[in-house]
Structures are given as C-alpha cells and as structure tokens.
C-alpha cells in the first residue's frame, strides 16, 4: 500500500508516515523549533560560562575541587539551576508555548488536530536509544584529549581550577556540535530537497 497524505485516510497510515508528512507540510514551523533549540543550547553554554566566572561561590572560577565543601557544592548547583531556569528554561518555554499555541489555534486545520489527538491517545511501542550515552562518552573522550593536549594529563586536581574543566567541556561540546551538527544539517537539507523539493 502506498503512503497516503495526511488528508487521505490518515487513520490507516503508520505514525512514522503521518508525522513525516506533517513535518514536510509544515516545515517552516519545524525550522522555528529547530532554531529555538539551538538558541536554548547557546543560552545554556553562555549562562554556564557566565555563572562559573562570576559566582563568589567557587572564587569566581579560581577554586580547585579541594577548596569546595559539600555544602558549597550543593549551594553552587542550586544557584546554577536557578539562573538556568530564569535565563534559559523560562524564556524557551514561553517562546515555544507561544509558537505551539499559534500553530494549534491558528495554523492547523480541525481534521489534522483531531488526528494528532487520536495518535497521542493511541499507545505506541517505545524505542530504546543509546545515542545520549554514546554522545556523552565521546564528550568525555574529547575532554581527556584536550586535557592531554594542554599538558595537564598528570597535573593534580588540586592544581587545576574547576572552571578549567567546565570550560574544557564547553569547548569540546561546541566542537562536537560543529563536527557532527553542520554535516548532519547539510545532509538533512540535501535529503529533504531531493525527496520532497519537487513535490511540495
């Protein structure tokens, strides 16, 4: 059976085909959410770097791990989470929620909204994914390589500030996004244009 469009018996097509057709049909909205995610990632990195270098807890980034007490570690993380919530999470949710509301109440036709409700109520088999763990492991390897390149492989933790490790992670994370994200985006755009460019 050939893949049908959203408007043609959508209750008979698989979830994968339905959501794929929806993405193709409303690709500008998907692009907006992609940019929102990128903005949130950039905001997270900038906020983390800012907090590390401006927080009195941690000596403005100069403390080593030996200088922290358990209580100071807890307070440091609490304030970090509060700043992340204020600067990154709440604005992202506000913008994302506004876009979702506009799309739901203005853009989507009633039949598509009913189909979306039906498919969200319908149970779907879960998918196991180890992508997050693999990416985290690659980041760990990247930080190890950076520390070694900096000549700090055998340097004691007590001689390195905690901000050094955080900023090393940020640098490796940015490079990972560049190395993986840019080729992935190019390949995705080429695939999208070749598959749907002539039919949309």
DSSP 142-189: HHHHHHHHTT-TT--GGGSBHHHHHHHHHHHHHHHIIIIIHHHHHHHH
Instruction: Say what the pTM is.
Output: 0.80
What is the structure's pLDDT at 130?
A: 56
Rounded CA-CA distance 193/184 in Å is 14
Helix 110-121 vs helix 15-25: angle between axes, to the nearest 10 degrees? 140
Cβ atoms 36, 95 nearer than 8 A: yes
Length of the chain: 200
What is the tens place of the pLDDT at every residue in 41-80?
Answer: 999 999 999 999 999 999 999 999 999 999 999 999 999 9
What is the structure's pLDDT at 9?
A: 44
CA 56 to chain centre: 29
- CA-nearest of 51, 40, 50, 49 to 76 is 51
Cβ atoms 76, 57 nearer than 8 A: yes
Domain boundaries, the chain: 130-200
Low-confidence ranges of the chain (pLDDT < 70): 1-12, 122-132, 196-200
What is the structure's pLDDT at 170?
A: 96
Rounded CA-CA distance 97/138 in Å is 33
What is the tens place of the pLDDT at every residue in 86-99?
Answer: 999 999 999 999 99
What is the structure's pLDDT at 57?
A: 92
């Amino acid at each position: 059976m050939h893949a049908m469009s959203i408007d043609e018996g959508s209750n008979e097509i698989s979830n994968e085909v339905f959501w794929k057709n929806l993405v193709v049909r409303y690709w500008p909205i998907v692009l907006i959410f992609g940019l929102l995610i990128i903005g949130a990632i950039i905001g997270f990195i900038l906020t983390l770097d800012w907090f590390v270098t401006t927080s009195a807890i941690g000596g403005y980034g100069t403390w080593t791990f030996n200088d922290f007490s358990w209580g100071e570690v807890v307070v440091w993380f609490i304030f970090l989470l509060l700043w992340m919530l204020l600067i990154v999470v709440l604005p992202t949710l506000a913008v994302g929620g506004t876009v979702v509301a506009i799309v739901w109440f203005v853009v989507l036709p009633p039949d598509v909204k009913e189909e979306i409700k039906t498919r969200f109520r319908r149970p779907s088999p879960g998918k196991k994914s180890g992508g997050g763990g693999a990416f985290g492991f690659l980041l760990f390897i990247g930080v190890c390589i950076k520390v070694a390149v900096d000549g700090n492989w055998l340097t004691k933790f007590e001689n390195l500030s905690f901000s050094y490790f955080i900023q090393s992670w940020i640098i490796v994370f940015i490079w990972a996004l560049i190395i993986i994200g840019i080729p992935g985006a190019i390949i995705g755009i080429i695939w999208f244009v070749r598959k749907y460019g002539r039919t949309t």
